[in-house]
Amino acid sequence: MGEVTDKPLDRPKPRAFRVTSFDVAAEAGVSQSTVSRALAGDPVVSEATRARVAAAAAKLNYSIDENAARLRTGRTGTLAVVVICRPDEDRKDLNPFTYALLGTICAAASARGFETLVSFQDSPANLSGRYEEQRKADGLIVIGTTQNEAAWDYYRDLGASGMHWVCWGSPYDELEWIRSDNHQGAALATQHLLDAGASQIACIASLDSLQRQFKERYDGYAETVVAAGHQPWLVEIEHGLSRDEQGRRAVAALIASGRKFDAVFAVCDEIALGALCALSEATVRVPQDAALIGFDGIRASAQAMPPLSTIEPDFQAAGAMLVEKLLAGIAGEPHAPRRVPVRLVARTSTAR
């Protein structure tokens, strides 16, 4: 009985046809609110009616209107991920590390039942981060290059105004709760070079405050070298160049110095790749004449010739930690700063 008739309906005009929970309710012979509860898994609805509702929903091919749900609940089930780039940077030339991190963040969010709203912000002129105010997301994860201070300042201010956010790779030490265990990684790399018999180890790095990660890695290197009774040897990178060009120049400077070296630790893989090219061109054989190791574990390092040893952070853990930290913040729970574990990946560039 009781097909849809001429009597006043709950929802009079199905203007642009869309199956709503009212339709499911009618089909299942229950009220709309029961449909909502049943589909949400509320234990207050009996197993029998839950099944009827599920069947009706399936039959009508019903799917929830998330916007309505979000409007009512105030929760979005979405995390915004902002990737900061340099204003002039081609999407193709973003550090593979950043992309890999983006991938694991999305995976971690998905595993926790959250969608990810991704945007790339290059121009400090038109930054946008009002995701939470606009109820587009419950919080913000910011990653990317440190070399765009304006952008970081923008998000820091946003966070200061009560929004929920976490970041990876900011130029500000006090902002970074989650980051690679740079110190430990650099120590691993340096020890690995020492173990391979090297003693004159140059480190291509930057002590610039905007490159905090590099600084930490240099420190780890320096300590290890000193502990082994050697002198730290810093070859500073030039700014304003692409990473591989920085590596090339650094090697040129290294060779020009005339000082003998038997190993090089580059604080990131892309620098190491540039260094590798420059070494080859200068007929310094890797690893016979000099060992070489990088940091970051990007895919290209495995594809270089010779394959490049590196320190690889646990990408999956990195993404997961960022998401956990953010969700903890949203829930108002405490969450201690964490270091992402790293591991040594020994390849040909440091063999023997």
Partner DNA sequence: CACGCCTCAACAACCGTTTGCGGAAGCATA
Partner DNA sequence: TATGCTTCCGCAAACGGTTGTTGAGGCGTG
Is 188 in contact with 223 (CB distance < 8 Å)?
Answer: no
Q: Which amino acid is at 260?
A: K
276 touches a copy of itself by CB under 8 A: yes
99 touches a copy of itself by CB under 8 A: yes
Q: Which is nearer to DNA, 33 or 257 (CB)?
A: 33
Total binding residues for DNA by CB under 7 A? 35
Q: Which is nearer to a copy of itself, 60 or 210 (CB)?
A: 60
Q: Give the separation between CA 43 and CA 255, rounded to whole angstroms.
A: 72
Q: How far is the CB of 153 from a copy of itself (least distance, A)?
A: 19
Task: Give strand ranges (E) for 92-227.
Answer: 115-121, 139-144, 165-167, 178-180, 201-205
129 touches a copy of itself by CB under 8 A: no
Task: Give strand ranges (E) for the chain.
Answer: 78-84, 115-121, 139-144, 165-167, 178-180, 201-205, 234-236, 263-266, 291-293, 310-313, 338-340, 342-345
Q: How far is the CB of 283 from a copy of itself (least distance, A)?
A: 12
Class of residue 277 by CB neighbours under 10 A (exposed 0-12, middle 13-18, buried 19+): middle
CB neighbour list of residue 148: distance below 8 Å, 6 or more residues apart: 84, 85, 86, 87, 122, 124
* Single residue of 4, 44, 125, 160 touching DNA by CB under 7 A: 44
Q: Which is nearer to a copy of itself, 11 or 299 (CB)?
A: 299
Choose the contact partner of 343 out of a copy of itself, DNA, none; CB within 5 to 8 A by kind. Answer: none
Site for DNA in 53-72 (CB under 7 A): 62, 64-65, 68-69, 71-72
139 touches a copy of itself by CB under 8 A: no
Q: Which is nearer to a copy of itself, 115 or 262 (CB)?
A: 115
Is 108 in contact with 143 (CB distance < 8 Å)?
Answer: no
307 touches a copy of itself by CB under 8 A: yes
x/- letters, 75..94, toward a copy of itself (CB under 8 A): -x-x--x--------xxxxx
13 touches DNA by CB under 7 A: yes
Q: How far is the CB of 190 from DNA (least distance, A)?
A: 53
Q: What is the largest CA-CA distance in the chain?
A: 96
Q: DSSP assignment of 74-122, as one string?
A: S---EEEEEEE--TT--GGGS-HHHHHHHHHHHHHHHHTT-EEEEEEE-
Q: Give the separation between CA 2 and CA 17, rounded to whole angstroms.
A: 21
Residue with tokens 């120049």: 249
309 touches a copy of itself by CB under 8 A: no
Size of the chain, expressed as the number of residues it contains:
352
Quick one: tokens of 159? 């966070």
Binding site for a copy of itself (CB under 8 A): 16, 63-68, 70-71, 74, 76, 78, 81, 90-94, 96, 99-100, 102-104, 106-107, 110, 115-120, 130, 133-136, 244, 270, 273-274, 276-277, 280, 297-300, 302-307, 315-316, 319
Binding site for DNA (CB under 7 A): 11-13, 15-16, 18-22, 25, 29-34, 36-37, 39-40, 44-46, 48-49, 62, 64-65, 68-69, 71-74
